[in-house]
Amino acid sequence: MKINLSTRVNQDYTSVKNGFDETLFTKLSPPFPPVKLLRFDGSEIGDLVSLELNFLLFKQQWTGKITENKMTANEYYFIDVGIVLPFFLKKWRHTHRIINQGNHSEIRDEVEFSGPFGLATLLLYPLIYLQFLYRKPIYKKIFS
């Protein structure tokens, strides 16, 4: 399943790229489930980001590895792939794109995921979509 969301922000793309750090990552975490950041290496190839998701009755670990990144005159992107996923996810690939639009930028979240079976994937779609929709006003506020 794929989700693509775009947010236009009022900073140039290199400034936005430089703002993709641990502080931003923490601010992007939704209120539920509460997230504890266990490790944040950055967005270079081989870097790891590890989280603990607290669902009140149980906790799940989520670790992603940066497998690709590139900067051109038109955009910067990096890709994280889930290497340790919560039980309800089988596959995770998230491309973070920051596209140059002169004095503005477009932040594009492109997510590919699947659950352990087809129905789970369909049920996860609205939840994951809302998690990324939650990011839009945060991006706009931070990169205004």
The predicted model gives 20-47 an average pLDDT of 93
Across the chain, what does the average pLDDT equal? 95
Q: How far apart are CA 130 and CA 30, in angstroms?
A: 9
Contact yes or no for 135/11 (Cβ under 8 A) = no
pLDDT of residue 31: 85
Give me the pLDDT at residue 122, please. 96
Name the token pair of 85. 């996923």
The pLDDT value given to residue 30: 87
pLDDT tens per residue, range 10-31: 999 999 999 999 999 999 988 8
31-56 mean pLDDT: 94
Q: What is the mean pLDDT of residues 113-134?
A: 95
Please tell me the class of the 2-142 domain.
alpha beta
Say which residues have a Cβ less than 8 Å from residue 32's Cβ, sequence separation at least 6. none
In contact, 47 and 66? CB cutoff 8 Å: yes
Helices 118-133, 135-142: crossing angle, 10 deg rounding: 30
